[in-house]
Amino acid sequence: MSDVSDAYEAKKKYEIPLLEHGASFVAVEKGVLVIGVRDPEVKEWAKKHIPVKMKFVSGFRPLDPLRVSHIVGISEQEDRINLYIESHRVKPHTPDIIDGKPVRKIVTGRFRIGTYNSNIPNRDRVRPVVGGVSVSPPEKIAGTLGIVTEDGMGLTNAHVAAINYFRGKNYPDGTKIYQPGWVDGGRKGDVIGELAIYTNLKNDVTHTVDGATIDLDVSYEEMKILGIGELDGWTIPEPMQKVLKSGRTTGVTESIVVDNNATVKMDGYPWGSVTFEQCIITIPAIAEEGDSGSILVSDGHVAGMVFGGSDAATAACRPDNIIMELGVCFGRRYRNRAEPPELISRVGELIRGVALSLIPAGLIKSRG
């Protein structure tokens, strides 16, 4: 094995024991296992038990927390830093202060897009086409057409409409898109249009959008979502704001925004994890497998597009980034008033008090 693969195997095997013995983080750089030293005991333990090349550094590196495997997301606020972490087990081994700011640790589990699943309930053929319904390319997967935009484009995720998972690469422009999707019985007579523009997702680039548009050639209704109704314009939701979504698997569900500027690592793409920034995070999870592409709705406005998450939380792309990346139109922007700081600081306890009953059953996965 190469030094790089040896180091990654050692990281996978020894990260939790290292954290328990006083490491502040564990990472791999240029084939070397890099260990942050919080307690001197960890150096002796590592030298005794780990047979790979190692480098010890002091403290925690504030500039690269996403390189620590148990940290799955980060967001810098005015008065604190939010860290989204993998489990309660690693909470004591996550820094309390980064760059002089206190850290709020939020356990979400790992964020991921979905996988293939042919055992979910069938979804209907809907004409005219509206948002919130089953779509797919010519492949047995499940995903959601989020909305037909004001300029008449179908909108969903790139990983729903543009990725060929069997070949591990993107579909070509002009690929047929079906409604309902293949997993829900869609076939030749259910083509609604062709793949147009999509995000070319890569794991060595930080993205803001997992998105794709569809050139529709059937009847449709703009800015209308099944189970929610007609929308007017768009907004960027603030923490503590309630949002709805209508998706192919779970229908209409609601949750609360806790962040609108998070950077997250998203698992599940054919080429590995992909990093996204400026993401919306909702707690509890608002979506399940097959709901990817669903539009977040706040006060009757487009407020984001679901693309991944965990059992505890959902991640969505912001509408301003969708507009910039894909060139679609949602109409006018509606601006929100910022919430009082004292309310934002109480997000966690308020969610526990009023929103736990909203947690949907099953796993949150962005596509099907």
Residues above pLDDT 70, as percent of the chain: 85
Q: For residue range 4-42, list pLDDT tens digits in order.
A: 678 888 888 898 888 888 887 787 777 888 888 878 899
Answer yes or no: is pLDDT of 50 > 90: yes
Name the band, by pLDDT with cuts 50, 70 and 90, for residue 305: very high
Mean pLDDT of 284-300: 94
The mean per-residue pLDDT over the stretch 280-309 comes to 95
Q: Which residue has the higher pLDDT, 65 or 51?
A: 51
Picking from 218, 220, 213, the residue whose alpha carbon sits closest to that of residue 192 is 218
Query: Which comes out higher in pLDDT, residue 297 or 80?
Result: 297
Averaged confidence pLDDT in the chain:
84
Tell me: the pLDDT tens digits for 120-162?
Answer: 434 799 999 999 999 999 998 889 999 999 999 999 999 999 9
- How many beta carbons lie within 10 A of that of residue 196, not counting itself? 20
User: Is 60 in contact with 98 (CB distance < 8 Å)?
Assistant: yes
**Residue range 311-329, pLDDT digits in tens:** 899 999 999 999 999 999 9
Please tell me the distance from the alpha carbon of residue 220 to that of residue 133, in angstroms, as a whole number: 12
Dihedral sign (CA 201, 192, 327, 146): negative
pLDDT score recorded for residue 362 = 32
| Span 58-83, average pLDDT | 75
Q: What is the mean pLDDT of residues 76-82?
A: 86
Predicted pLDDT at 350: 36
Across 90-111, average pLDDT: 84
Rg value, the chain, Cα: 21
- Count Cβ atoms below 10 Å from residue 164 Cβ, excluding itself: 15
- Can you give the pTM of this predicted structure? 0.74
Q: If pLDDT is split at 50, 70 and 90, which confidence band does 339 have?
A: very low
The pLDDT value given to residue 9: 86
pLDDT in tens, 200-248: 999 889 999 999 999 999 999 999 999 999 999 999 999 999 999 999 9
Check pLDDT > 90 for residue 57: no
Give residue 64's pLDDT band: very low, low, confident or very high (50, 70, 90).
low
Cα distance between residue 270 and residue 267, in whole Å: 9
Burial of 16 (C-beta count, 10 Å sphere; 0-12/13-18/19+): middle
Name the pLDDT band for 360 (thresholds 50, 70, 90).
very low
353, pLDDT greater than 60: no
pLDDT value at residue 5: 72
Structure tokens at 133: 């319904």
pLDDT number for residue 116 = 44
